[in-house]
């Protein structure tokens, strides 16, 4: 399934709802749909971003690469990013790659948003 991205605001936090697969098949040339969307949000003044994985059905190694690129882009531009509601399989992948140690993973939107306001994001 093609990746769909929609953005909604929760106060000063942009929530990027992802639906489908975050994989090699969803890349656009040398860039990622997610990275480009996050860049646009940051360029538009958003400094707190949550990636909602609730409807993300699949992630492969290219998807992990896109997630790392998104994290790098976010931090290099002075913004913060968290992940919420990953499936069991995607959570295991985040743990296996240890991305959960450099990016907070939350079970619900409220805690993901609250953590950004507290500035508790892990550092690399």
30: pLDDT strictly greater than 60: no
Pairing of strands 80-84, 4-10: unpaired
Fold of 4-118: Transcription Regulator spoIIAA (3.30.750)
| Mean pLDDT value of segment 45-54 | 97
Q: How far apart are CA 60 and CA 62, in angstroms?
A: 5
Q: How far apart are CA 30 and CA 124, in angstroms?
A: 24
124: pLDDT strictly greater than 50: no
Q: How far apart are CA 83 and CA 100, in angstroms?
A: 9
Q: How far is CA 98 from the centre of its chain?
A: 15
The tens digit of pLDDT for each residue in 63-93 reads 999 999 999 999 999 999 999 999 999 999 9
pLDDT of residue 32: 78
pLDDT of residue 17: 97
Size (the chain), residues: 124
What's the order of all strands across the beta sheet hosting 105-106?
4-10, 13-22, 48-59, 80-84, 105-106
| Mean pLDDT value of segment 41-60 | 96
pLDDT of residue 19: 94
């Amino acid at each position: 399934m093609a990746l769909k991205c929609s953005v909604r605001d929760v106060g000063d936090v942009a929530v990027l709802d992802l639906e489908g697969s975050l994989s090699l098949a969803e890349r656009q040339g040398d860039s990622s749909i997610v990275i480009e969307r996050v860049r646009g949000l940051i360029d538009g003044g958003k400094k707190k971003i949550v990636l909602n994985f609730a409807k993300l059905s699949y992630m492969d190694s290219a998807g992990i690469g896109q997630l790392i690129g998104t994290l790098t882009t976010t931090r290099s531009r002075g913004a913060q990013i968290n992940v919420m509601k990953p499936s069991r399989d995607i959570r295991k992948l985040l743990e296996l790659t240890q991305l959960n140690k450099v990016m907070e993973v939350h079970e619900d939107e409220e805690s993901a948003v609250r953590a950004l306001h507290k500035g508790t994001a892990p550092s690399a």
